[in-house]
Amino acid sequence: MKFDVIVVGAGPAGSAAAYTAAKNGYKVLMIERASEPGAKNVSGARIRDSVISKVFETKDLPFERIVKNSRLIFKTKETETQITVKPKEKLYIISRLKFDKWLAKNAENAGALLITKTTVTGIEGNKVITERGAVEGDKIILAEGANALLSMSLGLRRELKPDETVLGVREIYSSTRDEVAKRFNLQGDEGEIWEIVTDHPIPSAGFIYTYKDAVVIGIGSSVDELIKNKLKPYELLDVFKEPYLELVKGFSLREYSAKIIPEQGFPKFKPCKGNVYVAGDALGLVDPLTFDGIGPAVISGSLAGKADSCESYYKSLYEAKEIVKVVRSRPLVHELLKGENLGFYVHLITDFISSWIKGDFSELRYYKSSLGKMIKHLALGLGMIG
Amino acid sequence: MRAMRIEERLYTLRYKRDEKPHLEIKDQGTCKKCYEEYGSPCIIACPANVYSFSNDGRMIVAYENCVECGTCKIVCPFNNIIWRFPRYGLGMAIRY
């Protein structure tokens, strides 16, 4: 059987690619290795309506809650500082199983054919090989996720190293809708997201967010730091969640999952070669500090679905705000993820705020010697260097 | 709340076992060497305790507990793990 477009993976990038290509009149096949779209997909759950609605009609998007408050917490062993932000734009908290299923349904409704429970094991020219046999496609889009075995086998990218990989682990505790609302002081569809940057016991970025009737707690840290400190990922999670256990007291654990996030990616990872295109997580488009990846996945997927040549795909990626954002922030994120730098800023921020409260900034003199480093990071953040 | 064992956490996932292991060790001798030189990073970094040494010093791979994150493949200093995806939709599935 022959298709115009074959998409490997029915996650946000894959479904956006299939949806876009099918809407443009192409005969599209989407192949998913899980029993249903989303069943193997783990990620942070915040998406921007303004980004998703560039590709999909979001009227019936299945969300868990809408972010009312986003809290950023800097935490040392001794103290912490919190900043609460009320988002100006509409941010949804979504669960991947429901959201990814909805995305795939959109692609199917546009005319794409979805096959599940099928793992693609190789690409040979225009042939896509699975354990059930081969199919042919004029254009092949790899939206295969972080473990991009096919992209690597085609030489579009190399294997990651431990010091450029973040591992996130998370647990989901369920209860009732009312109980979740009560503990976070929420009304109706309101939800909350906490991001916790800490240097204890190792530099890491934790997160807590609310689903309809459940609370998600997780943490990400450099794989290299885990190994150096001989710390198992779930031991790190246990230390991290200790102060927050009251939030989920009496709730029951319903899920434990893990995911890697590459700190490297496009343009170091090549987005295309001949008739093969790569999009989303496989192209390294997740921000390893904020875990924001669904937006860039949907945008890159849609662009891959539209692209008629490798050159035009490159060009469109560089013109997309959401993609450029990830690429531009990479040098800074890389700097910040170095253990000593993350700890440095966590301490700087907490010390600054406590000095403010005490009305005594003399302690901050200590940071004078690090001014050079701070200016470098500021310049990276502003895109002046890097 | 007491610390939860990893088995209790993994129990929350939906698993369908592929009879054919999707993870395999290429060479047992290399695992011994890796333990001595590097302290077996796969044992430390795997979030599901898939890797452990048996009493007779063989590396055992409990692939049926794998959460398919890919960390072991990245941390193995000798590229000694054959890492594939489970077939036919088998392996782990999330609930949320």
Overall average pLDDT of the A276-292 stretch: 89
Determine whether the interchain pair B71/A260 forms a contact, defined as Cβ–Cβ distance below 8 Å: yes
State residue A382's pLDDT score. 61
Query: Is B95 in contact with A159 (Cβ distance < 8 A)?
Result: no
B1 has a pLDDT exceeding 60: no
Same domain, A29 and A125: yes
Question: Considering Cα of A220, then B64, then A231, then A246, what sign does the dihedral take?
Answer: positive
pLDDT tens by residue, A143-181: 999 999 999 999 999 999 999 999 999 999 999 999 999
Q: Angle B26-B32-B38 (CA atoms, 0-180°, nearest 5)? A: 100
- What is the extent of the structural domain holding A140? 2-45+95-159+264-329
Strands (E), chain A: 2-8, 28-31, 46-48, 65-75, 80-85, 91-93, 113-115, 120-124, 127-130, 133-142, 165-174, 190-198, 204-210, 214-222, 252-262, 272-273, 276-278
Rounded to whole angstroms, the Cα distance separating A60 from A75 reads 38
Domain annotation covers residue B1: no
Cα A51–Cα A55–Cα A58 angle in degrees, nearest 5? 75
Given a cut of 80, whether residue A380 has pLDDT beyond it is no
A384 falls in which pLDDT band (50, 70, 90)?
Answer: low
- Residues B73 and A161: their CA atoms lie apart, in Å, by 10
Quote helix, strand, coil % in chain A, to nearest 5: 40, 30, 35
Q: For residue A283, what is the DSSP state?
A: G
CATH number at residue A39: 3.50.50.60
Per-residue pLDDT averaged across A288-309, rounded? 92
Collect all residues with Cβ–Cβ distance below 8 Å to B69 and sequence separation of at least 6.
Answer: A42, A147, A167, A258, A259, A260, B47
B 24-43: CB under 8 A from A: 39, 41
The terminus-to-terminus CA distance of chain B in angstroms comes to 23
Q: How far is A260 from chain B (nearest CA, A)?
A: 6
Best of A161, A175, A257, A263 to substitute, by most chain B Cβ atoms within 10 angstroms, is A257
Last residue of a domain, one of A329, A355, A370: A329
Q: B2-49: per-residue pLDDT in tens?
A: 567 888 899 888 899 999 999 999 999 999 999 999 999 999 999 999
In sign, the C-alpha dihedral spanning B52, B18, B66, A245 is negative
The stretches of chain B forming alpha helices (DSSP H) are 6-10, 28-38, 41-45, 71-75
Residues A322 and A344 in one domain: no
> Please, are residues B41 and B75 in contact by the beta-carbon 8 Å criterion?
yes
pLDDT of residue B20: 95
pLDDT per residue over A330-379, tens digit each?
A: 887 777 777 778 888 888 888 877 787 777 777 777 777 777 777 777 66
Q: Is A223 exposed, middle or buried (0-12, 13-18, 19+ CB in 10 A)?
A: buried
In a domain? residue A68? no
Mean pLDDT score across all residues of chain A? 92
Q: Is residue A89 part of a domain?
A: no
- Structural domain ending residue among the three candidates A311, A329, A347: A329
Cα–Cα distance for residue pair A218/A208, rounded to 1 Å? 7
Per the domain annotation, does A212 fall within a domain? yes
d(CA A60, CA A46): 17
Q: How do residues B40-82 score in pLDDT, each as one tens digit?
A: 999 999 999 999 999 999 999 999 999 999 999 999 999 999 9
Out of A212, A227, A261, pick the residue that ends a domain. A261
Q: Is A203 helix (H, G, I), strand (E, B) or coil?
A: coil
Whether A33 and A136 share a structural domain: yes
Q: How far apart are CA B44 and CA A45, in angstroms?
A: 27
Regarding whether A280 and A133 lie in a shared domain, the answer is yes
A256 and A272, same domain (yes or no): no
Q: Examine the domain organization and report whether A146 and A295 are in the same domain.
A: yes
* Euclidean distance between CA atoms A373 and A366, whole angstroms: 13
pLDDT of residue A335: 78
E strands in chain B: 14-16, 23-25, 51-53, 59-61, 81-83, 91-93
Q: Which residues contact A264 (CB under 8 A, 6 or more apart)?
A: A160, A164, A284, A330
pLDDT given for residue A372 in this prediction: 75
* DSSP 8-class letter at A116: -
Taking residues A283-304, report their average pLDDT. 90
Q: How many CA atoms lie within 13 A of A100 on its CB side?
A: 29
Write out pLDDT tens, residues A202-224.
Answer: 999 999 999 999 999 999 999 99
Measured between beta carbons, the chain B residues lying within 8 angstroms of A94 are: none
Within this chain, do residues A179 and A254 fall inside the same structural domain, yes or no?
yes
Give domain status of residue A245, yes or no: yes
Residue B50 with chain A: CB contacts under 8 Å: none
| A82 in any annotated domain | no
pLDDT at site A34: 97
Give the pLDDT confidence score for residue A291 in this predicted structure: 78
Is A119 in contact with B94 (Cβ distance < 8 A)? Answer: no
Q: CATH number of the domain that B59 lies in? A: 3.30.70.20
- Please give the tally of structural domains in chain B: 1
User: How far off is chain A from B59, nearest CA to CA, in Å?
Assistant: 18
In this prediction, residue A172 carries a pLDDT of: 96
Flag whether A206 is in a domain. yes
Question: What six digits make up the tokens of A62?
Answer: 């299945």
Instruction: Tell me which residue range forms the domain holding B66.
Output: 6-12+21-93
Residue A312 covered by a domain: yes
CB contact under 8 A, B9 and A38: no
The verdict on A256 and A277 lying in the same domain is no
- Phi and psi of A261, rounded to 5°? -130, 120
- Which pLDDT does position A365 carry in this prediction? 76
Which member of B12, B88, B89 has the closest CB to residue A253?
B12
Do residue A109 and residue A40 come from a single domain? yes
Domain count, chain A: 3
**pLDDT value at position A386?**
44
Q: Are residues A192 and A304 in the same domain?
A: no
Average pLDDT (A111-139) is: 97
Report pLDDT for A316: 98
The arithmetic mean of pLDDT across residues A99-121, rounded, is 98
- Per-residue pLDDT of A46-63, as tens digits, reads 999 999 999 999 999 999
In A, minimum Cα distance to B79 occurs at A159
Residue A276 to residue A120: CA distance in whole angstroms: 14
Residue A141 falls inside a structural domain: yes
Q: Are residues A273 and A151 in the same domain?
A: yes
Instruction: Report ipTM for this prediction.
Output: 0.95
Q: How far apart (Å, rounded) are the C-alpha atoms in residues A69 and A90? A: 11
Residue B47 and residue B10 in contact, taking contact as beta carbons nearer than 8 Å = no
| Band of pLDDT at residue A381, cut at 50, 70 and 90 | low
pLDDT confidence of residue A385: 55
Residues A275 and A152 in one domain: yes
Task: State residue A176's pLDDT score.
Answer: 97
User: According to the model, what pLDDT value does residue A336 have?
Assistant: 76
Q: What does each C-alpha distance from A106 to A27, A195, A299, B2 come to in angstroms?
A: 15, 31, 15, 44
